[in-house]
Amino acid sequence: MKRIVILISGRGSNMQAVLDAKLDATVAAVISNNPAAGGLELARSRGVETVVVNHREYPDRASFDLVLGDRIASYQPDLIVLAGFMRILTQAFIERFNDRIMNIHPSLLPAFPGMDTHRRALEKGVRLHGCTVHFVTPFLDSGPIIIQAAVSVLPGDDEPRLAARVLEQEHKAYPLAIRWFLNGRLAIENGRVRVSGDCRYPGAFIAPEPA
């Protein structure tokens, strides 16, 4: 059975979606940099081992990432899933787990990397917004794209409404991307992800689907 470690910093709704997806894998641990992350309790209530590595207890990113990496490595994961993990990881950390770290970002990358994606999407007046699951590289929010889900931006949308609509799609896209990984269907070729095998959505979907 393949092994997953999930990293969170907050409420953990994407983590919950992954746990609920009944993937053919063991979630070996949920690790948070934030002792107050709501998702920790949720993970414990599902019988998943939880660990806190509080970044505030380390003088710099490098020393935090070293300890974090050692804790992760002790679970021998096949995949590390960043689910609302709000720390920038060092190049050394990312190279240590090369091509085995996934992230979900709440925009259609490469549009709106970084923070406040929903506010910025509304400010720009984009008609389509969404989320992206990608492999993590040392360049923030710009690793090879695995799956994207798009939603329409509707007249009258505000940040919370748009965020909620995108989050609903995040909860579908992330388990699907992880399932593809676990089934060996993802290959990185020239910095791009190829999804092999038949699938209804070869890496993209729009919600609601066009009639």
Assess 130 for contact with ligand GRF (CB under 6 A).
Answer: no
Q: Does 143 bind ligand GRF (CB under 6 A)?
A: no
Decide if residue 175 touches ligand GRF (CB under 6 A): no
Q: How far, in Å, CA of 200 to CA of 211, rounded?
A: 16
Active site residue 55: no
Q: Is 23 a residue that touches ligand GRF (CB under 6 A)?
A: no
83 near ligand GRF, judged by CB under 6 A: yes
Least separation in angstroms between CB 20 and ligand GRF: 12
Contacting residue, 42, 48, 89, 104, with ligand GRF by CB under 6 A: 104
Among 73-81, 102-110, 122-130, 134-142, the segment contacting ligand GRF (CB under 6 A): 102-110
The residue annotated as part of the active site, out of 55, 105, 129, 171, is: 105
- The DSSP result for 111-122, as a single string, is SS-SS-HHHHHH
- DSSP letter (8 states) at residue 171: H
Kindly tell me which residue out of 5, 10, 40, 79 binds ligand GRF, with binding defined by CB under 6 A.
10
Interface residue with ligand GRF among 69, 77, 84, 143 (CB under 6 A) is 84
> By the 8 A CB rule, do 106 and 133 touch?
no
Under rule CB under 6 A, residue 14 binds ligand GRF: yes
Place of tokens 């063991």: 26
Q: Cβ distance 106 to 86 under 8 Å?
A: no
Residue count of the chain:
211
**How is the beta sheet containing 25-32 ordered, strand by strand?**
50-52, 25-32, 2-8, 79-82, 101-105, 128-135, 145-152, 204-207
Decide whether 140 or 187 has the Cβ nearer to ligand GRF: 140
Decide: helix, strand or coil at residue 3.
strand
User: Binding residues for ligand GRF, per CB under 6 A?
Assistant: 8, 10-14, 83-84, 104-106, 131, 167, 170
